[in-house]
């Protein structure tokens, strides 16, 4: 039977009653047999033996026999014993018949109890009327008066039925109450399990604490953020068991404020996860009150906003760069127009001045300065993405090989330039002049990072970016050609890497850099549909990776070369 069935309590009652009956039966069996044999009551010995053996078999068989059959046989044993005692001994059999009625109602229900009362009454009446009962019943067999015996039977029936109905009704009421209690508990367990499922499924951290600031309830997200080993360890723990002392002190101070009845809304808390990474949480805490309004604890909800804060910072940087780009683009256009006039008039003036004239050198100086200024305006236009690109289908290996031959003269004797060209590199669509500018800028930066000399390596390879890699590089998945430019220079710290592509940011001394070189590289690569990544550590050089999408003559982004998968090693720095 179902373990939640309230009728199962009868099983325990039956087992207890049957065991007690067997134990007491064994204890009284020997003296009873001796007295019976001495009194010549052999039938009583046989009756006691049969009942005791049958009871023993019931106990041995146990649950292998259905409960109702066992309970019915047990009650019938009491009935047979009662009838036998009425016939052999006398009035003591009435107690067994009454017990038969009560036990039937107790073990099998009120209907069986009433039926047992009817059977007992009929048996009692017939034993008296037929004159087979022992004289100790109350009347001698030869003098039994039917009417008198009927009155005695009615009284016996009244008592038996009253006991059967009373016991049965009480047990029915208790059984209904037990069934309702079990149904209520089952419903509560199901609701509690459902709520716990929802509780754990919420990605936000949800918890309650008592007045001492100890965790009482918490979801899976709260446990995972605590740094503790097991949920049992977190039960009753405080923030000092979960977080660094400085963070725990701040959180505990907030808890005390809430426990005084002051709600806290949208409080940002900085902490660290198990790997030591900084995490930002937006927390709501409110007092938990009882029916009288007294504060008994607090309930809190914390949301991890680390990624949101990063996105906000990226948005601010993007807006800043967009604003600077618009300003730079506008200035560059106007300045470029002025430089065109200066260059034009300097050429006209130079043509009118004879060779050897000192003024001619001054005109050449003006022209050279205007040319350098024009180069600066081109960098500004590339940075602001307002320069006019003329993309062409390029064989990167050939283009880079030509550029490297020029770079070897530019880098000087102390810097060695190695070139490693990948096989089957597909074509890309990019402005060749802009690509040269990207490579030159990276090469010059690498040379400046190796004042005592070193090695600059350029490498090309076919790659394919999956969705995760493309998301990190802020581009689309697909086939790319990656140009890797690495040096053995001084390297960069994490703080420098974070700002390396920012406009007007430079680590060079005053007068030695404009801060537009890498910003221009970033603008050109982005404008060409690609992405750029950098990894570097102090003293271990720097590696720049430029990803350019593979293209065909129609400008599609699917090439014919066989790609390899690139495993990203650094985070995108903007």
Residues 408, 498, single domain; the answer is yes
Residues 405, 349, single domain; the answer is no
Residues 240, 342, single domain; the answer is no
Residue 522 in domain: yes
**Domain's final residue, options 337, 365, 384:** 384
Residue 1 in domain: no
**Domain's final residue, options 384, 401, 435:** 384
Residues 25, 94, single domain; the answer is yes
Each residue's pLDDT tens digit, 399-444: 888 888 777 766 777 888 888 888 878 888 888 877 887 888 888 8
What is the pLDDT at residue 557? 41
Q: Give the whole-angstrom CA distance, residue 478 versus residue 70.
A: 77
Residue 566 has φ and ψ, to the nearest 5°, of -100, 130
Residue 571 in domain: no
Number of domains in the chain: 4
Each residue's pLDDT tens digit, 442-460: 888 888 888 888 888 888 8
**Residue 108 — very low, low, confident or very high, per pLDDT cuts 50/70/90?**
confident
Query: When comparing pLDDT for 518 and 293, which is higher?
Result: 293
Residues 430, 492, single domain; the answer is yes
Residues 103, 172, single domain; the answer is yes
Each residue's pLDDT tens digit, 547-565: 999 876 544 443 333 333 3
Mean per-residue pLDDT of the chain: 77
Least confident of 112-116, 238-242, 355-359, 448-452: 355-359
Residue 184 in domain: no
The answer to whether 242 and 229 are in contact (CB under 8 A) is no
Q: Where are the beta strands (DSSP E) in 400-541?
A: 415-420, 428-430, 454-465, 478-487, 531-536
3-state secondary structure of 166: helix
Contacts by 98-102, CB closer than 8 A, 24 or more apart: 98/159, 98/160, 98/163, 100/75, 101/160, 101/161, 101/163, 101/164, 102/163, 102/164, 102/167
The answer to whether 524 and 437 are in contact (CB under 8 A) is yes
Residues 427, 551, single domain; the answer is yes
Residue 315 in domain: yes
Residue 539 in domain: yes
**Looking at the predicted structure, is the pLDDT value of residue 132 above 80?**
no
Q: 118: domain range?
A: 6-179
**Domain's final residue, options 278, 304, 330:** 304
Each residue's pLDDT tens digit, 170-213: 777 777 887 888 888 888 888 888 877 877 778 888 889 998 88
What is the pLDDT at residue 560? 36
First and final C-alpha spacing in the chain = 69
Residues 143, 18, single domain; the answer is yes
What is the pLDDT at residue 448? 82
Residues 528, 480, single domain; the answer is yes
Residue with tokens 């951290």: 205
Q: Give the whole-angstrom CA distance, residue 50 versus residue 518.
A: 106
Half-sphere exposure of 511 (CA within 13 A, CB side): 0
Residue 146 in domain: yes
Residue 371 in domain: yes
Residues 278, 146, single domain; the answer is no
């Amino acid at each position: 039977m179902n373990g939640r069935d309230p009728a199962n309590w009868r099983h325990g009652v039956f087992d207890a009653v049957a065991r007690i009956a067997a134990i007491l039966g064994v204890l009284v069996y020997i003296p009873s047999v001796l007295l019976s044999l001495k009194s010549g009551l052999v039938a009583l010995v046989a009756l006691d033996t049969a009942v005791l053996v049958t009871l023993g078999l019931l106990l041995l068989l146990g649950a292998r026999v259905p409960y109702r059959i066992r309970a019915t046989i047990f009650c019938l044993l009491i009935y047979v014993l009662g009838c036998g005692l009425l016939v052999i001994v006398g009035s003591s059999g009435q107690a067994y018949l009454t017990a038969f009625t009560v036990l039937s109602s107790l073990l099998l229900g009120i209907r069986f109890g009433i039926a047992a009362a009817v059977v007992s009454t009929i048996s009692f009446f017939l034993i008296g009327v037929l004159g087979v009962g022992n004289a100790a019943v109350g009347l001698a067999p030869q003098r039994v008066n039917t009417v008198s015996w009927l009155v005695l039977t009615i009284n016996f029936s009244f008592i038996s039925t009253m006991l059967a109905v009373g016991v049965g009704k009480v047990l029915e009421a208790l059984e209904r109450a037990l069934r309702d209690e079990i149904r209520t508990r089952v419903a509560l367990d199901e609701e509690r399990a459902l709520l716990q499922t929802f509780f754990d499924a919420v990605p936000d951290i949800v918890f309650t604490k008592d007045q001492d600031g100890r965790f009482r309830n918490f979801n899976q997200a709260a446990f995972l953020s605590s740094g503790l080993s097991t949920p049992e360890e977190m039960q009753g723990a405080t923030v000092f068991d979960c977080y660094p002392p400085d963070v725990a002190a701040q959180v505990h101070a907030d808890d005390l404020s809430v426990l005084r009845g002051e709600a806290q809304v949208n409080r940002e808390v900085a902490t660290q996860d198990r790997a030591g990474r900084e995490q930002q949480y937006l927390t709501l805490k409110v007092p938990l009150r009882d029916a009288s309004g007294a504060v008994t604890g607090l309930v809190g909800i914390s949301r991890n906003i680390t990624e949101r804060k990063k996105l906000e910072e990226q948005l601010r940087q993007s807006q800043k760069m967009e604003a600077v780009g618009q300003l730079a683009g506008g200035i560059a256009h106007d300045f470029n127009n002025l430089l065109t006039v200066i260059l034009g008039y300097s050429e006209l003036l130079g043509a009118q001045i004879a060779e050897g004239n000192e003024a001619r050198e001054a005109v050449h100086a003006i022209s050279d300065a205007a040319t350098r200024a024009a180069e600066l305006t081109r960098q500004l236009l590339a940075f602001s993405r307002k320069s006019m690109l003329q993309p062409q289908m390029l064989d990167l290996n050939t283009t880079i090989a030509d550029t490297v031959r020029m770079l070897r003269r530019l880098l000087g004797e102390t810097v060695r330039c190695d070139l490693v060209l990948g096989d089957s590199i597909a074509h890309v669509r990019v402005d060749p002049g802009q690509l040269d500018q990207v490579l030159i800028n990276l090469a010059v930066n690498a040379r400046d990072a190796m004042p005592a000399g070193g090695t600059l390596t350029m490498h090309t390879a076919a790659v394919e970016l999956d969705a995760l890699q493309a998301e990190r590089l802020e581009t689309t998945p697909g086939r790319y050609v990656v140009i890797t430019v690495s040096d053995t220079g001084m390297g960069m710290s994490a703080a420098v890497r974070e700002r390396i592509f920012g406009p007007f940011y430079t680590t060079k001394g005053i007068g030695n850099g404009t801060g537009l070189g890498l910003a221009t590289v970033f603008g050109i690569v982005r404008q060409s549909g690609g992405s750029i990544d950098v990894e570097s550590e102090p003293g271990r050089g720097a590696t720049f990776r430029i990803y350019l999408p593979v293209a065909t003559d129609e400008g599609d982004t699917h090439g014919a070369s066989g790609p390899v998968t690139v495993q990203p090693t650094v985070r995108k720095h903007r």
